[in-house]
Structure 1
């Protein structure tokens, strides 16, 4: 029997509103993450049954279930929105696992009190997109919400470009507490709630700090370091989130809300895929600095509960915020060292030499526009003694040869590189085609692509196309959309 806890609702009821899932006239399971279900202690056979589908849709309450929509605020593209929240989502409750509580959360489950005029529904394409992208990120070792299932509802969802089959995504997270959650409590002048929220977040993510002298300071330091490490991992695989609003930044340090995101083809720090990011605020290369901006907003929300004197509170949090670039640079260099198969302190490699190596490489990557993912897989061939494995444009060959000579002096480990650099990512052209087919009822391409990206480091016999860059004409016109 499934049992859910409701710690979040009990601890901060002021930040929730009761929610009820919308009926699904003809539910059908599209995809189920059986490995994750087992990890969560759920019965796969039950989840595939009619009763299991009702549970996954939020239509069959179980013991301990108190479904709610979560309140939060947020800076969206730099502008503050004081009242956001789960307009088409609901927290069913928390599952108790060997590694702690895990939120069970629905997306596309129907309108809530926080819908702000929206229909509360979601379409098959965007929900399958989040499923595949989040599972790809997990397979690459990047902290993320996980996808448990996507269930088609049997009804049509109306969008600007027409009607689409509806679906609900069932996702799992260490928590869904966002920077925007703290902003909401602060903006509504609920200091007591802000204290309770801080305690709840610490109990979930940093329990040893609950009894610290100043818990909000401990929480802030933890989130700064977690986000620095997360963004470094994004950058290392060419991931562009696309909508880094403060309501899309979690205190858990997990990637959340895969809307208009994408992966780089050719390396370009200015790359923007989102149709709504007209000012390039969330461009690939700008993500580290945007994260620090978001963390500054988090600090502002925490100020009243750090100390009664605002100047003292600012003095306590400012050094932590200013240390974000130090944490990010350390994490990013560590990621790049692993991608290059080298190790600080080995073969004479010190931090200055590594920094020069990485900086020079990114200068080449930007100048040449080579495919980011393919480049690092080809580079391991060079580490094995075959320079012909690396595709280099004629205008940059001399520059690349000089860089290779410098890199090879540090004896890169080709096997370690292949275990770090993905061969398979959710290539934009493949994902786009798979989702179009899935909306028409054919999941063959989706399932094949899912199999590739959840085995990101291993070649697939007969699956060479999964590692091929997109055609230039596709890349030139590709845009992503929020799916709302």
Structure 2
């Protein structure tokens, strides 16, 4: 008789067949210690809090034990990495424990990241240093509180072992939660091998799991393509709207479900400049801030190509349908982005005037080297000067913005809304508190070299309420000093 598992698994992806994954147990670690557990997320997923506080939970989260119902696998995929085709990738340091169904009926993957070698490790050790685990935990949870579609972090543990990168570093494992880990690169893997049957099986799975409404369309696979394009258009617009730079927008890092994934060399921009790059390996700025929409468009074109045999039996007609769908991405992304910018400026609806005003502001911000987050937040303060304390002590807008501010205020006034209502709209779209790169690095340094996780815990706590600013939190809203600026971030692979 099987013992009852504290996590109720239902592994639909595994049932697709052996060509989609390989069974692989995590590698046992020496001395796991708990860093953090996301109890609200665990409750939503139906995972018992009392069990999570036990040593049995720690051993499972470290990969030392396999829970009943879990059937660990490493999934296979391919991808374009920095534009270069790699026909064989896959989960090289991550193992999917299984899937759970949350209280609202939504299905999620539970994955251990940094859990040891797999058949797809490609000479890597399959491990993760502590730093990337803390970065992903902090940034993914911040993205969730900012309302951005994202994978989540359920737990983080140290392994009691060292991994070797630029030196010996403490190892760690992240338990990641995603609506699924199916990527553009997953489709590419089978399409590149002319395995149309596998592409169809994968597409049918995605339709059932993520886009069931498309099943009733005249052409479900075309509807799938269109809906994936729409979700990505909204996602990238959200990134642009909060100054987020992903850093490695390879096709294997774009999820079909529309969630942000793989927080490697990512960061929120401090000083606004459209060409900002953080990734230490992005030497030519391919994944710079201003390039993100174009790269998403490029990635989606490969997804469309993978689906072409399903779009129509006539190749020319299939190509035409794919091209027509892809052409909608940039207008859709820009539409979402302009609406976000309008809301950030206290305008309910985007217009040509709001787009012009926003473009002028961004140019002034670049010229004056203004902080992206604080500039918009300061404008929100100005929408109703009678409100409480704002970020004025952290950022004074230069005189060069005076003329722009007058035109902005004139346009906002045309809505005939109360100042408090305008400010409330702006505050909902302009965070004051983000996990700034220098603070993330500080938390990583303290945890790595001093075994002090209090900086991580505090930054996680502050980032959970990004729109609620009080002067006591000034440290977490203040841009870095010149000596604090972090110019490069790393994947940790």
TM-score, length of structure 2 as denominator length: 0.93
1:63 to 63, 68, 82: 68
| Cα distance in structure 2, aligned partners of 1:87 and 1:168 | 14
| Cα distance in structure 2, aligned partners of 1:452 and 1:388 | 16
Whether 1:198 and 2:203 are equivalent positions in the alignment is yes
Match of 1:233 in 2: 238
Match of 1:186 in 2: 191
TM-score, length of structure 1 as denominator length: 0.95
2:474 to 450, 464, 474: 464
Q: Report deviation, 1:352.
A: 1.9
Is the Cα contact below 8 Å between 1:364 and 1:400 reproduced in 2? no
CA deviation profile, 1:58-109 (whole Å, cap 9, x unmatched): 3322232211001000000011100001011011110011231110011000
Whether 1:246 and 2:251 are equivalent positions in the alignment is yes
Query: In 2 relative to 1, CA 24–7 (structure 1 residues): closer, same or farther, beyond 3 Å?
Result: same
Query: In 2 relative to 1, CA 274–32 (structure 1 residues): closer, same or farther, beyond 3 Å?
Result: same
Residue range with higher mean Cα deviation, 87-96 or 40-49 = 40-49
Is the Cα contact below 8 Å between 2:26 and 2:63 reproduced in 1? yes
CA deviation profile, 1:256-314 (whole Å, cap 9, x unmatched): 00000011111110000111000100000110111001101111111122222221111
2:297 to 292, 295, 302: 292
| Cα distance in structure 1, aligned partners of 2:157 and 2:178 | 18
Match of 2:3 in 1: none
Q: Report deviation, 1:215.
A: 2.3
Q: Report deviation, 1:407.
A: 4.3
Is the Cα contact below 8 Å between 2:361 and 2:404 reproduced in 1? no
Is the Cα contact below 8 Å between 1:12 and 1:197 reproduced in 2? no
Q: Report deviation, 1:3.
A: 1.7
| Cα distance in structure 1, aligned partners of 2:269 and 2:409 | 23
Match of 1:94 in 2: 99
Is the Cα contact below 8 Å between 2:111 and 2:176 reproduced in 1? yes
| Cα distance in structure 2, aligned partners of 1:296 and 1:218 | 15
Match of 1:74 in 2: 79
Whether 1:424 and 2:430 are equivalent positions in the alignment is no
Q: Report deviation, 1:402.
A: 4.3
| Cα distance in structure 2, aligned partners of 1:22 and 1:210 | 40
Could you say what the CA RMSD is over the residues aligned between the two structures, in angstroms? Answer: 1.8
Give aligned pairs, total: 477
Whether 1:277 and 2:287 are equivalent positions in the alignment is no
Matched residue SS, 1:353:
helix
CA deviation profile, 1:107-128 (whole Å, cap 9, x unmatched): 0000000000000001111101
Match of 1:347 in 2: none
Matched residue SS, 2:13:
helix
Residue range with higher mean Cα deviation, 204-213 or 166-175 = 204-213
CA deviation profile, 1:432-452 (whole Å, cap 9, x unmatched): 111100113101111111111
Match of 1:116 in 2: 122
Q: Report deviation, 1:400.
A: 4.5
Is the Cα contact below 8 Å between 1:12 and 1:193 reproduced in 2? no
Over 6 Å off, 4+ runs: none
Match of 2:137 in 1: 131
Matched residue SS, 1:463:
helix
Residue range with higher mean Cα deviation, 263-272 or 465-474 = 465-474
Match of 1:29 in 2: 34
Query: In 2 relative to 1, CA 210–398 (structure 1 residues): closer, same or farther, beyond 3 Å?
Result: closer
1:445 to 450, 455, 461: 455
Residue range with higher mean Cα deviation, 329-338 or 54-63 = 54-63
Q: Report deviation, 1:405.
A: 4.2
Q: Residues 356-371 of structure 1: matches in 2 within 5 Å? A: 356-371=356-371
Match of 2:151 in 1: 145
| Cα distance in structure 1, aligned partners of 2:269 and 2:15 | 42
Whether 1:314 and 2:319 are equivalent positions in the alignment is yes
| Cα distance in structure 1, aligned partners of 2:347 and 2:105 | 32
Whether 1:303 and 2:313 are equivalent positions in the alignment is no
Match of 1:377 in 2: 377
Q: Report deviation, 1:424.
A: 0.5
Q: Residues 381-400 of structure 1: matches in 2 within 5 Å? A: 381-385=381-385, 389=392, 391-400=396-405
2:272 to 248, 267, 271: 267
Residue range with higher mean Cα deviation, 210-219 or 196-205 = 210-219
| Cα distance in structure 1, aligned partners of 2:210 and 2:162 | 39
Q: Report deviation, 1:138.
A: 0.1
Residue range with higher mean Cα deviation, 320-329 or 352-361 = 352-361
Whether 1:105 and 2:115 are equivalent positions in the alignment is no
Q: Report deviation, 1:55.
A: 1.7
